[in-house]
Amino acid sequence: MLNKVALYYHTLRHLKRIQLGYRLFYFLRKILRNFFSYKPSKRTIPNSYDPLTLFPSLPAQSSVKINNFQFSFLNKRKDFVKAIDWNFNEHGKLWTYNLNYFEFLHVEGVSKKKGLEFIRDFISKMDEIQDGLEPYPISLRVIHTIKFLTYHKIYDSEIDESLYNQLWMLIDQLEYHLLGNHLLENGFGLLYGAYYFNDKNFYTKAEGILTSELKEQILDDGAHFELSPMYHQLMLFRLLDCINLMTNNLKFGNSLIELFSNKASLMLGWIQSLTFSNGNIPLFNDSAFNIAPSTESLSSYAQSIGIEPKKIDLSNSGYKKYTNNIYEIIVDVGAIGPDYLPGHAHCDMLSFELHHQGEAIIIDPGISTYIPGERRNIERSTSSHNTVYLSPHEQAQIWASFRVAKRSKSKVLEVSENHITAKIDYVTTKASHKRSLYFSEKKIEIRDFIHYEGQGLANFHFHPNISPVIEGNKIIINNHLYLQFHQALQIDLMLYYYTPEYNVMQTAQKAVVTFSDIMTTKLNLH
User: Which tens digits make up the pLDDT trace of 478-491?
Assistant: 888 999 999 999 99
DSSP bridge pairs for 435: 422, 448
Q: Where are the domains of the chain?
A: 66-173, 319-525
Cα distance between residue 41 and residue 202, in whole Å:
18
Residue from 305, 228, 292, 205 nearest 264 by CA:
305
Cα distance between residue 230 and residue 96, in whole Å:
20
Give me the pLDDT at residue 305, please. 97
Burial of 213 (0-12, 13-18, 19+ CB in 10 A): middle
* pTM for the full predicted model: 0.96
Residue 17 predicted with pLDDT over 90? yes
Q: Place 1 in a pLDDT band, splitting at 50, 70 and 90.
A: low
Q: What is the mean pLDDT of the chain?
A: 95
SS3 307: coil
User: Which tens digits make up the pLDDT trace of 116-159?
Assistant: 999 999 999 999 999 999 999 999 999 999 999 999 999 999 99
**CATH number of the domain at 319-525, please?**
2.70.98.70
* Torsions phi, psi for 23 (to 5 deg): -60, -45
Give me the pLDDT at residue 337, please. 83
Type of residue at 6: A
Intra-chain end-to-end CA distance of the chain, in Å: 55
* 3-class SS shares of the chain: helix, strand, coil, % to 5: 35, 25, 40
Cα distance between residue 211 and residue 260, in whole Å:
9
